[in-house]
Structure 1
Amino acid sequence: MAKRDEPLRMDETHKRLLDWTYGQPPSERLAALILDDEGYRDIDPSHPLGGPDGGRDGHCTRDGEEGVWAVYFPRGQQSLKDIGDKLVADIDAARKHDPEFLVFVTNQEIRHSERTSLRALGGEIRIELLHLERVGTNLDRQRMAAVREQFLKIPATPVSDDPSIDLRVSLVGTAHMFTDDNKVLNHWVAIREKEIRKKSEQGHARLRAEQEKKERAEAERRAQQARQAAEKARETRMEPFPGRFGGSAIEMPWGGDFLRDSKIFDAVTMEQAVPDFISRMRGIQGVEVPQPPEPLSEEEIASRVAAYRTTLESRWPSCRDYLAGVGWDGMHIRIKNEAKSFLTDVEVILTFRGARGVDHEGLDDFELMKVQDPAWEPPRDPLYYTAIPAMARFRSKDFPIEWRDNDDGDLEVTITLARLRPLSEWRSEDYGDEVVLVVDPGADIDEVSVTFTATARTHDDVFEGAPLTVPVEKISMLDKLLAVMEATKDTSDD
């Protein structure tokens, strides 16, 4: 052990954890204190000094869920197989308690790529890993100085009159990824092709009907000419009609078809009035007069379907984001001031590596057509509707949360708080579900790494918190779409 006046290694905490020589009872007691600091509650150790523990080192809860915890503090780094065997044994022993999660507290270094395989061992039991890096970072916090000194014999740094920033950030929620979005895209293309073919058939039917109408009109014209010729021949055989003042007979300027000709004229007038009405309708802003269906060849149909697919693919990321914002809950952020002093003008910046942010919309305004075009708006009667520009989401001037996707493709969330009381916790859910965390399809990650920094007035230093992780939920986009449709159907039925 280093003497008090000797400088310690920068990684002294991690080194002493890995070289653990104190045995099982102290490791279980240390684990209990770490669990408490990490936000677990109702921590109830079993038998640190030995004895039957019922297949668990202790019981705990978190966010209303029941769980157990197990401790593995061997001396020196063990193989992944040895770590996995110990975890499997702990899982098998814990199943009799039917826990929702198992916290595996260990002094072993577990690489990022190894954590996924270890978590998968739990099956229906969620595995939460408190590995060397996480345990060491926890013990290096100022508030854990006394615990670090008690169990690792590393002298605690005296607390100054102006204590440093000491914040704990916890994240509630998951990141989300669609796994088969191409299947949904192809569904939309198939629907559009069906619509194009239906209108094409209507166009062909229209042409056939117009041709038949033209043929009937031609037959009627010829019959009319024949009747007029017969009528004229009959009139020329009529005897002269004596005029009132004598002279030759007066020839009537119309025949017996005058009444019918008047009706035809009226009909033509109405036909001429319809295009005039349509032309006036065109003058109304936003009015689109439907065009008659157009007959298409197979080549023309294929060309239009391909054009739609190209357009849909170009906006598909925004389509995915629309469904994500509607169908998933936002990420909840909690910030606790662990110091026994006030903090003012606090700014916390969280960076979610490899994830993006999407506005949380909720189910109330869900429109199915917006899944293929977020800019789509339902048609309205132009004679009774006046468009009102969409209002931006209202936020008060002291709204504490801002977020953006930076140039590196990471989400940055900035939280600005005027004041943070000692030992108090700020919660983002008090302001609603603001941002949904999404990961683009195809990304080869199972969790999002999160780092954060904090600054405050009268503190010249920048506080850098311990890295956090957020699990990535991978779900079929088609399944999520069907679930949203069913949920909104139930709402509309009510």
Structure 2
Amino acid sequence: MHVDQTNLPGEPAGKFGDRGIKYEEDVTRTDETWFRLLQWTQGQAPSERLAAQVLAYSGFNDIDPSHPLGGKDGGRDAICSKDGRPWIMAVYFPRDQQPFNVIKSKFESDLAGAAKHQPYGLAFVTNQELRLSERANLKELGAGKDVTIDLFHLERVAHVLDEPSMSPVRKQYLDIDPGPLPIAVELDILGSARRFVGSEEVLDWWLEHAPEKERQRHVRSRQEHVQNPISALRLLPMQPPAPTPLTKTELEQRIERWERRVRQAWTESEDHLAATAWPGLRFRLRNTGEVFLNDVQAIITIEGVRGLQYLHRDRFEQAKLLPPVFPARRDPYAWVEPGFYDDLRIADYPVTWKNLDDSVEITLDLRHLRPHPVWESEADDIVLVHSGDIGGTEVAARWTVTAQGYGEVHEGEVRTIPVEPVSFLDSLEEVSGGDEPSDE
């Protein structure tokens, strides 16, 4: 667009625009759909076919046009249904904006014809602007005849036609080139976020139970040491002497330090159980467009949760969940399976994630996303722990998609993930095979 000159005397304002600005002929209007609908010149038949496409997009079914090319239609441009109820479609597409009394007269005529067939509703599709008061006026006319009115006025029809999936219809009836087909991707998040129920009760039980067991052992150990002092001697040259039992004061100091560590690390203990007992999320991406997408990246942000690396059930260690007062001595010659295998990933594995402030960001990187088949992650990658309000029943997941050749970001509809309360004891039973927590 550039300013050329203002309107000369006697020239119509439309040549240079209302503000005296001349527009280049190749400038695309942002309201092109709206403008071409209002300046409709194609006649009745295309308008009825276009209206049928608008209704189909809006949830109407079984659309059966009467006589778009002319003929008696008995007051019905088309019959259709919605939610199992019968509807009638009426279409009014004149050129330019008409006075409301003209629109109302046409509507009353269509309503009278439709009412003869006793439909549930009348869908009135028009290229005319209707103010809120005018819409209310027309709906009142329908109420007088016990007919529900659904008004598809100019702004609403333009909005429907500007939807990305309606670009072929826009091209066919309005000759508006859609340009590159938009990104059309659907995301499914399979799984849930979880939170423990009964965790504090287990913690309190362990803080009381484990020290009491150690106090009983301490009494027995002291008695054995007194009754059999030779047991503390080395019987073999390489054999270390048996440790001298702690005094009662030393034992209580040890228990006090242990209790502080257990309380401070309880969240980590819960996380270990959750990572081994709970299933992880899985993801499904579906390309619903008509083009192959390359170098696709979907970024999913889930609020109010923490992420944990999923661990196989075999990785559960009771000592990490309920640490004993005195850890068991490890055999220095015993093989200890390294835990770094938990973090290994296949090369170019498409799912990565990281914890942010009270949210998790998950990234899906796909080389290609074809219209078929649907892509789905193959493993339980991330376990979600709900970290928000204890009464919350769901968390929100926002997501975007970018792809090679597209300069814009596709923002998907917000997904909700259910939050499930899970019994701490039930989770412990799953990973421990039903055994009671051991003191050893």
TM-score by length of 1: 0.51
Alignment correspondent of 1:316: 266
| Residue matched to 1:341 | 291
Helix, strand or coil: the match of 2:413? coil
Partner of 2:371, secondary structure, is coil
Amino acid at match of 2:180: D
Query: Is residue 217 of structure 2 the alignment partner of residue 199 of structure 1?
Result: yes
Q: Relative to 1, partners in 2 of residues 1:412 and 1:192: Cα closer, same or farther, differing over 3 Å?
A: same
Q: Do structure 1's residue 420 and structure 2's residue 369 form an aligned pair?
A: yes
1:436 matched to 2:383: yes
The amino acid of 1:330's aligned partner reads: G
Q: Are residue 359 (structure 1) and residue 284 (structure 2) matched?
A: no
Q: 1:435 to 1:333 in 2, by over 3 A?
A: same
Aligned equivalent of 2:418:
471
DSSP 3-state at the match of 1:392:
helix
RMSD of aligned Cα (Å): 4.3
In 1, the alpha carbon distance for the partners of 2:277 and 2:178 equals: 49
- Which structure is higher in helix share? 1
In the TM superposition, what is the alpha-carbon distance from 1:359 to its structure 2 partner? 1.4
Cα distance between partner residues in 2 of 1:7 and 1:373: 73
**1:157 positional shift:** 10
Any residues of structure 2 matched to 1:97-246 within 5 Å, and which? 142-143=164-165, 160-206=178-224, 208-209=226-227
Contact 1:348 1:414 survives alignment (8 Å): yes
Q: Report % sequence identity.
A: 26
Contact 1:203 1:295 in 2 (8 A): no
Work out whether 1:278 is the aligned partner of 2:274. Answer: no
Q: Does 1:30 pair with 2:52?
A: no
Residue in 1 aligned with 2:84? Answer: 47
Match of 1:397 in 2: 347
Matched, 1:481 2:406: no
Distance 1:441 1:182, change over 3 A: farther
Cα distance in 1 between the residues matched to 2:233 and 2:415:
72
138 and 333 in structure 1: CA distance in 2 versus 1, 3 angstrom threshold: farther
Q: Distance in 2 between matches of 1:31 and 1:316?
A: 56
CA separation of 1:322 and 1:480: change in aligned 2, threshold 3 A:
same
How far did 1:304 drift? 3.4
Whether contact under 8 Å (1:178, 1:441) holds in the other structure is: no
CA distance in 2, matches of 1:3, 1:204: 93
| 1:347–1:455 CA contact under 8 A, matched in 2 | yes
**Paired letter, 1:296:** K
Q: Which of 243, 252, 266 matches 1:291?
A: 243
Q: Tell me how far apart the structure 2 counterparts of residues 436 and 378 of structure 1 sit (CA, whole Å).
A: 30
Structure 1 residues not aligned, in runs of 5+: 9-25, 34-44, 51-75, 77-136, 150-154, 215-266, 280-288, 490-494
1:364 deviation in Å? 2.8
Equivalent residues of 2:358, 2:387 under 8 A apart:
no
Taking structure 2 as the reference length, the TM-score comes to: 0.57
Question: 2:331 is matched with which residue?
Answer: 381
State the SS of the aligned residue for 1:396.
coil
AA paired with 1:179?
A: V
Q: Take 2:314 and 2:61, find their aligned partners in 1: how far apart are those partners?
A: 44
The alpha-carbon distance between structure 1 residues 365 and 389, as it changes in their structure 2 partners (threshold 3 A), is closer
Q: Which residue does 1:5 correspond to in 2?
A: 34
CA deviation after TM superposition for structure 1 residue 481, in Å = 1.6
Change (3 A) 1:487 1:167: farther
Q: Does the alignment pair 1:305 with 2:255?
A: yes
**Residues 330 and 360 of structure 1 are in contact (CA less than 8 Å); yes or no, is this contact kept in structure 2?**
yes
Residue 368 and residue 303 in structure 1: after superposition, are their counterparts in 2 closer, same or farther (change >3 A)? same
Paired with 1:469 and 1:316, the residues of 2 have a C-alpha distance of 29
The answer as to whether partners of 2:36 and 2:174 remain within 8 angstroms in 1 is no
Counterpart for residue 369 of structure 1: 319
In structure 1, C-alpha distance between the alignment counterparts of 2:259 and 2:174, rounded to whole Å: 64
Amino acid in structure 1 at the alignment position of 2:429: L
CA apart distance, 1:484: 3.4
Q: Match for 1:420: what amino acid? A: L
Report the more deviating stretch, 453-462 or 357-366: 357-366
Task: Measure, in 2, the Cα distance between the counterparts of 1:452 and 1:377.
Answer: 45
Q: Within 1, Cα distance between the matches of 2:161 and 2:308?
A: 35
| Distance (Å, rounded) in 1 between the aligned partners of 2:280 and 2:34 | 49
Structure 1 residues 208 and 453: alpha-carbon distance in aligned structure 2, compared to 1, 3 A threshold: same
Distance 1:7-1:484 versus aligned 2 partners, 3 A rule: farther
Q: CA deviation at 1:434?
A: 1.0
Residue matched to 1:92: none
CA deviations 1:217-250 (Å, max 9, x no partner) are xxxxxxxxxxxxxxxxxxxxxxxxxxxxxxxxxx
Q: CA 1:461–1:488 in structure 2 vs 1: closer, same or farther (change >3 Å)? A: farther
CA distance in 1, matches of 2:429, 2:234: 49
Q: What CA deviation, in whole Å up to 9, does each residue of 1:404-448 have, x standing for no partner?
A: 101x221110010001112542101x2x11111111375442111
How much has 1:488 moved relative to structure 2?
Answer: 8.3
Structure 1 residues 320-360: Cα deviation after superposition (integer angstroms, max 9, x where no partner): 11111111111111111111101111111100001111111
Instruction: Tell me which stretches of 4 or more aligned residues in structure 1 moved more than 6 Å.
Output: 26-29, 137-140, 144-147
The answer to whether the Cα contact below 8 Å between 2:233 and 2:242 also exists between their aligned partners in 1 is no
Question: 2:395 is matched by which residue type in structure 1?
Answer: V
Summarize the Cα distance change of 1:387–1:146 in structure 2 as closer, same or farther, 3 Å threshold.
same
| Mapping 1:59-98, distance limit 5 Å | none
Contact 2:167 2:178 in 1 (8 A): no
Does residue 453 in structure 1 map to residue 414 in structure 2? no
Where structure 2 has 5 or more consecutive residues not aligned to the other structure, the ranges are: 1-30, 38-54, 63-81, 88-131, 133-158
Q: Is the 8 Å Cα contact of residues 356 and 439 (structure 1) preserved in structure 2?
A: yes
Q: Any conservation in 1 of the 2:187–2:285 contact (CA below 8 Å)?
A: yes
Change (3 A) 1:46 1:397: same
Counterpart Cα distance in 2 of 1:349 and 1:319: 30
